Amino acid sequence: MPVSKCNDINTAGRPGTSRLRRGKYTWMRWDSVRDLNCSVARTLSIVGERWTMLILRDAFLGHRRFDEFQRGTGIARNILSSRLRQLVANGIFERGPGEGDGARVEYRLTRKGLDLYPVLVSMLKWGDTWLADESGPPLTLVHRVCGAKTAPKMVCSECGANIAARDMVAIPRRPAHQTRRPARNAHRGHSH
């Protein structure tokens, strides 16, 4: 995927973040997306791997222990262990003792992790719309407060109207002013 000029990054000297030049496009390694000036790319650098989203799905379904995540996802133990470590390191989960005597370690969603719920619900809704079989969606969401089956919607925080992609305009933030260091010999006068 070519990198656009509006997503310019500074990766000089960082291991694993080199840009590769092929033809007229600059190609970037996946592990450098966290350095892009893009919230979607930064988010994907943390939760964009497929197993990570399935672990999050299970966490929102109430799973907290390693064996529950392993059973729910079918993921290999070594990959699960790695993903859980990354989720803890990125503040999505906190790792702690379970309740009761001899309880095993549990992984609980942090506030930062709970804020990913709308992302998962959006994926669920898209999957239900475009990928469900003739039996219908595999899961129904019920609002605990009123007890009704529901399909959460995105609405404008100001007017309450439903939001669709064509109803929105994305306005980029002005780039921060970057100061350039003067050239090494710029402060020296002309030749002596």
Higher pLDDT, 27 or 110: 110
> Which has more pLDDT, 53 or 4?
53
For the chain, list the domains and their CATH numbers: 1-37 (no CATH), 49-167 (1.10.10.10)
Count of CB atoms situated within 10 Å of the CB of 51: 16
The pLDDT tens digits of the residues spanning 81-125 come to 999 999 999 999 999 998 876 778 999 999 999 999 999 999 999
Indicate if the pLDDT at residue 21 is higher than 70: no
Whether the predicted pLDDT of 136 surpasses 50: yes
CA trace torsion 34, 38, 43, 49 (10° rounding): -70
Q: How confident is the model at residue 182 (pLDDT cuts 50, 70, 90)?
A: low
Confidence of residue 190 (pLDDT cuts 50, 70, 90): low
Q: How many CB atoms lie within 10 A of CB 159?
A: 7
97: left (phi over 0), alpha (psi -120 to 50) or beta: beta
